[in-house]
């Protein structure tokens, strides 16, 4: 849609050119959300496209992804990458309520900075223990754990004018086994629950990442595989009944049921006792 509050579009070749930040400014990535509804408070867009950041840099240490990397580019990487947990990339891309047209424009960083409960790039990067590099205006870059970034529905730790620069997926997480579960009330609809389990090769640990069912990602780390009862107890301790996210994509009690059901399936699968093991 046309957003008629916009008076100016800036196209810097370096993010450092934007030294002063004021109310009314917004970073423009793929624009798939920005142009999808009125932006009453925004009068200037600062386009990230001319920064020309290299989208994906794989190395033996893992994979570095620029915030401006498109969903479609990341999807293609998964077709060639040989890390065991790469399967999660395509599973998470397929969890967007969006067609390939959106994939060709929407960016990984835009999805993370939107910070919606059903943001599948948040699910992916939190499950893969990513580190985000943030560039504040007029201060040194800082690194934060992906799990600490989103703080609520459409809320995160970004400060005024701060830019998400890149996402680092460490080799240690990419080399894990994984199990993925996802549900939506409607076919190709927005996620009601997206839950990922990962396990270090040769060990019986378990890292569970719960997203979409809750306002922000919740992670449960077990040094050894819990029993079904231990898992249920840990979930209830960590997420009270009113800690689930109620919206048109599912009630809180439905999302709680899904979370218990899927986490038990993941536990069984990664224990080697599930049907999919």
Ligand X SMILES: Cc1cc2nc3c(=O)[nH]c(=O)nc-3n(C[C@H](O)[C@H](O)[C@H](O)COP(=O)(O)OP(=O)(O)OC[C@H]3O[C@@H](n4cnc5c(N)ncnc54)[C@H](O)[C@@H]3O)c2cc1C
Site residues, ligand X (CB under 6 A): 26-34, 36, 67, 96-98, 102, 105-107, 109-111, 113-114, 116, 118-119, 158, 163-164, 190
Which residue is nearest to ligand X, using beta carbons? Answer: 110
The residue ranges of DSSP E strands in 44-114, in sequence order, are 44-47, 56-59, 62-66
User: What is the closest distance, in whole angstroms, from the C-beta atom of residue 112 to ligand X in the complex?
Assistant: 8
Closest to ligand X by CB, 163 vs 239, is: 163
Whole-angstrom distance, CA of residue 106 vs CA of residue 192: 21
Helix (H, G, I), strand (E, B) or coil at 101: helix
Residue 171 in contact with residue 163, Cβ under 8 Å?
no
Residue 189 in contact with residue 249, Cβ under 8 Å?
yes
Closest to ligand X by CB, 146 vs 206, is: 146
Closest to ligand X by CB, 155 vs 228, is: 155
User: What is the closest distance, in whole angstroms, from the C-beta atom of residue 257 to ligand X in the complex?
Assistant: 21
Closest to ligand X by CB, 160 vs 233, is: 160
Cα first-last separation, the chain: 47
User: What is the closest distance, in whole angstroms, from the C-beta atom of residue 158 to ligand X in the complex?
Assistant: 6
Helix (H, G, I), strand (E, B) or coil at 29: coil
Closest to ligand X by CB, 87 vs 105, is: 105
Beta bridge partners of 32: none
User: What is the closest distance, in whole angstroms, from the C-beta atom of residue 54 to ligand X in the complex?
Assistant: 15
Angle between helices 228-238 and 252-271 (to 10 degrees): 140
User: What is the closest distance, in whole angstroms, from the C-beta atom of residue 182 to ligand X in the complex?
Assistant: 11
């Amino acid at each position: 849609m046309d957003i008629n509050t916009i008076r100016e579009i800036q196209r810097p070749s370096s993010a450092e050119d934007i030294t002063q930040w004021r109310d009314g400014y917004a970073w423009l990535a793929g624009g798939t959300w920005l142009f999808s509804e009125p932006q009453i408070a925004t009068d200037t867009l600062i386009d990230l496209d001319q920064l020309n950041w290299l989208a994906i840099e794989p190395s033996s240490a893992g994979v570095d992804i620029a915030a401006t990397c498109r969903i479609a580019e990341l999807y293609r990487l998964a077709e060639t990458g040989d890390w065991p947990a790469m399967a999660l990339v395509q599973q998470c891309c397929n969890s967007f309520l969006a067609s390939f047209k959106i994939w060709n424009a929407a960016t990984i960083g835009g999805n993370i900075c939107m910070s919606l409960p059903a943001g599948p790039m948040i699910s992916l990067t939190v499950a893969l223990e990513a580190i985000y590099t943030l560039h504040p205006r007029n201060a040194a870059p800082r690194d934060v754990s992906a799990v600490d970034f989103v703080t609520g529905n459409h809320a995160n730790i970004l400060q005024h004018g701060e830019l998400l620069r890149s996402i680092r997926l460490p080799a240690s997480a990419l080399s894990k086994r994984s199990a993925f579960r996802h549900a939506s009330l409607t076919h190709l609809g927005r996620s009601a629950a997206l839950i990922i389990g990962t396990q270090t090769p040769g060990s019986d640990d378990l890292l569970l990442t719960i997203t979409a069912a809750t306002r922000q990602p919740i992670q449960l780390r077990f040094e050894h595989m819990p029993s079904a009862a231990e898992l249920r107890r840990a979930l209830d301790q960590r997420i009270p009944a009113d800690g689930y996210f109620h919206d048109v994509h599912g009630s809180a009690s439905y999302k709680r049921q899904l979370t218990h059901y899927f986490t038990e399936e993941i536990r069984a699968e990664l224990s080697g006792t599930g049907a999919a093991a």
